């Protein structure tokens, strides 16, 4: 009942062909609904049909290929990119899905392989639009309100997209998650970080996607002449901010888990002149961790540090909370399938969280979902430098095929 193995030449060729749509140097600019994106979707539609899938594009641009079986595991990712992005972010998972569908096509297994390329994961207009729409989680108000950074409405892009499909003679039809059909969602993605490479592992069996906290920490002192105001009389919002930030970073070092990452990405001083003591200052603090408990503990650390800062030097410290995302646990049965497949093929793997969001997070709210990582050379991603060796690309596909074929043949995850 087993399907055939990964055809490595075909796999690499399809990835290279896909990267030619919107190519810039070694990378790709393929923003959702741009001409390059539309061309790539039409190319993928043909590839899916050639693979024996019943393929169509839905009204928002998701490309969906349905296998002949009554139940299927859904494999995929996205094919839109950021500006000057890499050739593998998203594309890798879509072409793996296509190749695995080809391998499993004649297996006769009770569970087939459906393939999807979600539109608009990168959020040119609305992050994870395609996958959330596929899951029925996006309302008309969100679509009507969404705009690009330069103010272009998403609805205008959708209209233009519909026109381009019509011109190409392609009719669209809805594509939605079907819980009676889809047994699970499994996505392969480049790691987009350096951990696999540093630890000399080839596969990441992803356990969950980190939660994110954003705080803006503000200091209110008093602007004054930097030459005439004695040090003892100053309420220097910059000095207090720097001391506060240093001690907070030390505290994070002590309190965080090995998986926690944090970042001060933005600092502002007011008025920001060399001869004026700053009266106001602020900085952004972001932290991410796969555990809700750790995030809650770090929330407390920040709140207590602010209270302590307000007991000292006359500069008032406060904070506002920005968007936050709770950590998400992927289905442990799927990460076990990935690690077992890696063991079976003698490929070194680690269990790890994902520090970035993926379409799998949208799917995980409705279906058992899993995520598999392959190494990123130098950890580069969202740049044209992004790359993975051909050997690692092929190895990742072989591990994923092993995991998927076990699920398809055994008929359950």
Q: How far is the CB of 149 from Zn ion (least distance, A)?
A: 19
Q: How far is the CB of 89 from Zn ion (least distance, A)?
A: 4
> Count residues contacting Zn ion (CB under 5 A)?
2
Residue (90 or 204) nearer to Zn ion, CB: 90
The tokens describing 113, both together, are 């392989």
Q: How far is the CB of 117 from Zn ion (least distance, A)?
A: 11
Residue (123 or 332) nearer to Zn ion, CB: 123
Q: How far is the CB of 265 from Zn ion (least distance, A)?
A: 21
Angle subtended at Cα 214 by Cα 212 and Cα 216, rounded to the nearest 5 degrees: 170
Residue (52 or 357) nearer to Zn ion, CB: 357
Nearest to 218 by CA among 195, 181, 180, 245: 245
Nearest to 209 by CA among 276, 123, 280, 295: 295
Residue 46, class by beta-carbon neighbours within 10 Å (0-12 exposed, 13-18 middle, 19+ buried)? Answer: exposed
Instruction: Pick out residues in 34-93 that bind Zn ion (CB under 5 A).
Output: 89-90
76 membership: H or E segment, kind and range:
strand 71-78
Residue (89 or 402) nearer to Zn ion, CB: 89
Residue 312, class by beta-carbon neighbours within 10 Å (0-12 exposed, 13-18 middle, 19+ buried)? Answer: exposed
- Distance of alpha carbon 59 from alpha carbon 89, whole angstroms: 23
382 near 365, Cβ under 8 Å? no
The tokens describing 80, both together, are 């839109």
Residue (188 or 295) nearer to Zn ion, CB: 188
- Packing angle of the helix pair 35-50, 8-19 (nearest 10 deg): 160
Q: How far is the CB of 387 from Zn ion (least distance, A)?
A: 15
Residue (89 or 99) nearer to Zn ion, CB: 89
What is the SS3 assignment for 226-251? CCCCCHHHCECHHHHHHHHHHHHHHH
Q: How far is the CB of 254 from Zn ion (least distance, A)?
A: 33
Q: How far is the CB of 78 from Zn ion (least distance, A)?
A: 6
- Alpha carbon separation from 37 to 19, 21, 33, 44, 161 (Å, rounded): 11, 7, 6, 10, 10
Residue (165 or 212) nearer to Zn ion, CB: 212
Q: How far is the CB of 357 from Zn ion (least distance, A)?
A: 9
Q: How far is the CB of 121 from Zn ion (least distance, A)?
A: 6
Instruction: Pick out residues in 87-146 that bind Zn ion (CB under 5 A).
Output: 89-90
Residue (182 or 189) nearer to Zn ion, CB: 189
| Main-chain phi, psi angles of 63, to 5 degrees | -105, 125
Helices then strands, counting H and E runs in the chain, come out as 12, 17
Residue (87 or 161) nearer to Zn ion, CB: 87
- Please report, as ranges, the residues that interact with Zn ion according to CB under 5 A: 89-90
């Amino acid at each position: 009942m087993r399907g055939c193995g990964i055809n490595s030449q075909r796999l690499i060729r399809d990835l290279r062909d896909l990267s030619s749509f919107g190519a810039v140097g070694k990378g790709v600019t393929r923003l959702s609904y741009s001409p390059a994106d539309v061309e790539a979707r039409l190319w993928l539609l043909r590839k899916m049909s050639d693979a024996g899938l019943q393929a169509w594009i839905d009204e928002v641009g998701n490309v969906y290929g349905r296998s002949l079986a009554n139940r299927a595991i859904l494999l995929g990712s996205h094919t839109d990119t950021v500006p000057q992005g890499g050739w593998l972010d998203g594309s890798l998972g879509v072409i793996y899905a296509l190749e695995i569908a080809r391998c499993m096509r004649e297996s006769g297994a009770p569970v087939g392989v459906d393939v999807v390329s979600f539109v608009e994961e990168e959020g040119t207009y609305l992050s994870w639009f395609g996958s959330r729409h596929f899951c029925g989680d996006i309302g008309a108000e969100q679509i009507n309100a969404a705009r690009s950074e330069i103010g272009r409405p998403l609805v205008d892009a959708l209209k233009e997209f519909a026109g381009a499909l019509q011109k190409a003679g392609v009719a669209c039809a809805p594509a939605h998650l079907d819980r009676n059909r889809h047994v699970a969602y499994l996505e392969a993605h480049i790691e987009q970080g350096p951990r696999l490479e540093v630890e000399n592992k080839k596969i990441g069996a992803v356990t969950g996607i980190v939660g994110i906290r954003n705080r803006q920490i503000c200091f209110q002192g008093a602007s004054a002449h930097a030459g005439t105001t004695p040090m003892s009389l100053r309420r220097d919002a910059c000095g207090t901010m720097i001391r506060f930030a240093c001690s907070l970073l030390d505290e994070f070092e002590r309190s965080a888990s090995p998986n926690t990452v944090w970042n001060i990405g933005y600092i502002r001083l007011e008025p920001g002149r060399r001869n004026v003591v700053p009266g106001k200052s602020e900085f952004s603090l972001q932290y991410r961790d796969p555990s809700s408990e750790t995030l809650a503990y770090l929330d407390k650390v920040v709140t207590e540090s602010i209270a302590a800062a307000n007991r000292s030097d006359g500069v008032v410290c406060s904070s506002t909370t920005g968007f936050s995302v709770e950590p998400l646990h992927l289905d442990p049965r799927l990460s076990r399938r990935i690690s077992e497949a890696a063991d079976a093929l003698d490929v070194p793997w680690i269990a790890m969280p994902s520090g970035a969001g993926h379409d799998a997070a949208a799917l995980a709210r409705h279906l058992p979902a899993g995520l598999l990582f392959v190494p990123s050379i130098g950890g580069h991603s969202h740049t044209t430098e992004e790359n993975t060796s051909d050997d690692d690309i092929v190895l990742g596909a072989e591990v994923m095929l092993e995991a998927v074929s076990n699920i398809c043949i055994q008929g359950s995850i």
